Chain A
Amino acid sequence: MSITRRDTLALGLGAAALTILPFRLSAATEDAIAAFTGGADVADGGVDLTAPEIAENGNTVPIAVSAEGAAAILVLAAGNPTPGVAEFKFGPLAGSHSASTRIRLAGTQDVVAIAKMADGSFARASKTVKVTIGGCGG
């Protein structure tokens, strides 16, 4: 028995996206942050970002964000060709300032969340999510 050409391609598929090494903040990401904050200072902390360390499936990665007292939270996939994921807005009567969704990641990269607080200040959190070929589990 030997593997067909088609199978060979399938075997390599999972890894194809990995030819590009871990992404850092792209110009598009910087621009999106600047547009959201208007260039204001952004403090580290004050926003919770939950994401897996290693994606089980890079095509649908569950993430959650929350920030007490936030008016809006911007979520970016810093290494995607188009970094914008979502902007969640919370009105003054919002019972909870949290949201969750699933996002698609082109490869290992940082997911960034920027919260705009009611007082106009900004907070950020980021987390590296690895997208890997897999295999070889002890």
Chain B
Amino acid sequence: MASAALVGASGFGNWARLAAQQALTQDQLLEFDTFGNVSLIHVTDIHAQLKPIYFREPSINLGVGGNKGEVPHITGAEFRARYGIKDGSPSHYALSSGDFASLAKGYGRVGGLDRVATVINAIRADRPDALLLDGGDTWHGSYTCHHTEGQDMVNVMNALKPDAMTFHWEFTLGSARVNELVESLPYAALGQNIFDAEWDEPAELFKPYEWFERGGAKIAVIGQAFPYMPIANPGWMFPEYSFGIRDEHMQAMVDEVRAQGADLVVCLSHNGFDVDKAMAGKVTGIDVILSGHTHDALPEPVQVGQTFIIASGSNGKFVSRVDLDVRDGRMMGLRHKLIPIFSDVITPDAQIAKLIDDQRAPYEAALREVIGQTESTLYRRGNFNGTWDDLICDALLSERDAQIAMSPGVRWGPSLVPGDDITREDLWNVTSMSYPNAYRTEMTGEFIKIILEDVADNIFNPDPYYQQGGDMVRIGGMAYAIDISKPQGSRISDMTLMSSGEAIDPSKTYTVAGWASVNEGTEGPPIWDVVENHIRKMGTVTVDETNTVKVTGL
């Protein structure tokens, strides 16, 4: 296979060049020379964002081991230099951090499933039998999704007519609800690594793969759900299921579909980018991995051996189109474009727009209620902190009267720009989940260090198979230093209580408030109430960029 030529065929350059012209049109965003005989459309990690939002990409996204300095672990100006993206261009705004607030004013919001629908319809106009594949984290992340237990997203996604889906946060609806929704789906629910926990056998409800005939080619799409579901999320909510990477079973599935005559093998994955890269190096025979979970948006595929990995971003901000030439039982060529959903440029699809509004109608008053205003950009993405999490930690410290606050290092949650109202919808976009209780407890200094060391190893273990794909737990009220090059147990040092300026004493007890505990029976008010009370007291929120984590070992 002519690998180098394949990467060169990426459609990225088309819209990077538009930057210079400063004139973005829908036709330009969609421009694509239809190629080969098969088209894949990939959306992933939508996190229930039906409407256009702002989404700031991270400034800090460190790679370790073999991934140090490799995409997606380069950010900002370095990322733009890597892909030849001009400062101030639409690609700068869509794909990288830097000047976010001012570019957001110029380019506007991104995403919206009614705009995504327009893009999907345009691709289907070129290729009526294009496969639409949803990488999961779809039924989680908003006020309406929480209150309808995922039904709003199922209704809207069904109207987009996907062909297959895999899963992660969906399981936090609880297994009874997940089973109910999955049974209702008119398309394939896939996960070769979703097992029955009791018998350690493939779960009956989730097929490992689905067959499709497209353009004369026999295509197998193999699903790979998030491997660390019961570890990263509360396993007690779905005790019947077991996960794991299970790459031996993945290889067995690839061999099985190849033996049955698959001309093309696609993996619809929620592994996270680095895990997908590692898996592609171990499992042979996968042509394309559509990668989700770590929310990376890459304008070109990354090739590992004979496998091409496509990363399509999050929160409805991007749609990937992948055209493939499949002949004589193999993939002969690939053309790819990461299409950014500029909501002011792409015309919403009227039918989907109405369907979205129908889902929201019963909740419209609550969604629109203004809680406060922000003078700062509020965002979440980044390995160590984000202003949204600083605000949440401040709320925990003051509303729960604690010395130290902990907020989970999740990667979902849209951004707000200075001058924006903070509505209840905005607040729920960064807090909604089925285990929201804000606990208040006591922990020793030693135990706090154990938590930080444990979470740090889930992100900075040099072997991607031991990484869970989240960011570092966010800490309020305490500063610390981290050497990411060290092994677990010796990364964290210089823990300092900010209220007193004193070093954390391992044997002393501190009051700690946090949320999103994976333990059953966690008590406390839901985090959205805690943060809402805090914002109402502040009126207008200003969050300075914090500098409480000193990072070394880069």
Contacts and interface: CB of A to CB of B under 8 A. Distances in A.
A22 B516 CA distance: 26
B56 to A, nearest CB: 16
Contacts of B411: 138
A11 B519 contact: yes
Contact of A136 (B412, B443, B450, B458): B458
A4 B473 CA distance: 23
Of the four ranges (under 10, 10 to 19, 20 to 34, 35 or more), the interface on chain B belongs to: 35 or more
Given A10-B519, A130-B466, A138-B471, A3 B440 contact: yes
B488 A22 contact: yes
A50 B233 CA distance: 24
A11 B516 CA distance: 12
Contacts of B443: 12
B243 interface: yes
Nearest to B169: A137
Interface stretch (B12-20, B96-104, B223-231): B223-231
B450 A50 contact: no
B52 interface: no
A138 B468 contact: yes
Given A62-B200, A137-B233, A138-B272, A15 B244 contact: no
Interface in B227-268: 227-233, 235, 242-245, 248
Nearest to A14: B519
Interface secondary structure of B, over-half rule: loop
A62 B201 CA distance: 11
B328 to A, nearest CB: 34
A7 B451 contact: no
A53 B471 contact: no
Given A12-B443, A54-B228, A62-B200, A138 B295 contact: yes
A67 B228 CA distance: 28
Nearest to A137: B232
Contact of A138 (B197, B231, B469): B469
B470 interface: yes
A136 B471 contact: yes
A6 B48 CA distance: 36
B231 A15 contact: no
B516 A135 contact: yes
B350 to A, nearest CB: 34
Given A18-B454, A54-B231, A54-B466, 9 more contacts: A2-B523, A11-B439, A62-B200, A100-B200, A130-B457, A134-B230, A135-B516, A136-B473, A138-B410
